[in-house]
Amino acid sequence: MFCTRIGLFFVILLSVGVFVPQAQAEGFSRRTFIAPPPSQNGKVKIAFFDADGTLRVSKSGGPSANGANDFIILPFVPDKIHELVANGYLVAIVSNQAGIPRMVTFAGAEGALSNMVGELKKLDATVHYFDFAEDRGPDRKPGAGMAQRLEKLLASLDSRLMVDWANSIMVGDAAYIKGETRPDGFEGYNFTNTDRLFAENLKIRFIEAAEFFGWNKFGSRELDTHQRLEEFLARNPGLKDRLAYCANLLMKP
């Protein structure tokens, strides 16, 4: 009964938009630096992140945001990004957005990422850069095009800047599909494996989102829909205040 009430509490929050910022797009643009890229002796280590099912889910229930305000930031995301930045990482979002232009406009997709980056910034979590590949474009993961573009952009800012691939990482939820064997020996269950293959193509370390953010320690191997987020919260009522704190900061006066 207690868990049911907790679950109902968060359903109500979602229905009134508590988790979803109501402002218009922050004005950040893809493929430009939002914050100065950090480097150590000219080397830039990058933490690449997928967007959907990794940093956010949509409020609308779709696989991705269908407008500039259609997103919910997932648990522990601000804390982990803050930690990475404190350790000298450049944080970059690389997202496949196959819904452009059939299900969402370019402006809607860019606005959703821009708004999310803005809200994370208010939570003391800096994202330096974001990119996304439309429809079936050549830059789509698992291809390395978005990473290669970022590498070239860094070099154009300062020819001495080089990506530290050995210490770069990729975090995503698209890991192992049915028929593939996971590191734990079990069969894969993800819809696709593009995030893991993106990391393999770059020869960098891949970390599943549930492991990186610690959701698996609370009984969730995926948080790819707001329904699964509600279930996660209902199972873990002790996290309510922590997530409510983030949600309150996302609300607009």
Containing domain of residue 21, as a range?
A: 2-250
Average pLDDT, the chain: 85
Count: domains in the chain: 1
Angle subtended at Cα 126 by Cα 119 and Cα 167, rounded to the nearest 5 degrees: 140
Residue-wise pLDDT for 133-171, tens only, equals 987 778 999 999 999 999 999 999 999 999 999 999 999
Residue 95: name the closest of 152, 56, 125 by CA.
Answer: 56
**Confidence check: pLDDT of 189 > 80:** yes
Residue 213 banded pLDDT, cuts 50, 70, 90 = very high
- Domain CATH number, residue 21: 3.40.50.1000
**Confidence check: pLDDT of 8 > 60:** no
Residue-wise pLDDT for 22-72, tens only, equals 334 457 899 999 999 999 999 999 999 999 999 999 888 888 888 888 899
Alpha carbon 26 to its chain centroid, in Å, reads 17
Going by the DSSP 8-state scheme, the letter that residue 251 receives in this structure is -
Strands (E), the chain: 43-44, 46-49, 56-57, 72-73, 90-97, 129-134, 162-163, 169-172, 205-208
- Please count the other Cβ atoms lying within 10 Å of the Cβ belonging to residue 58: 21
Over residues 196-206, the mean pLDDT reads: 99
Of 251 and 200, more confident: 200
Residue-wise pLDDT for 104-127, tens only, equals 788 888 999 999 999 999 989 999
pTM beyond 0.75, yes or no: yes
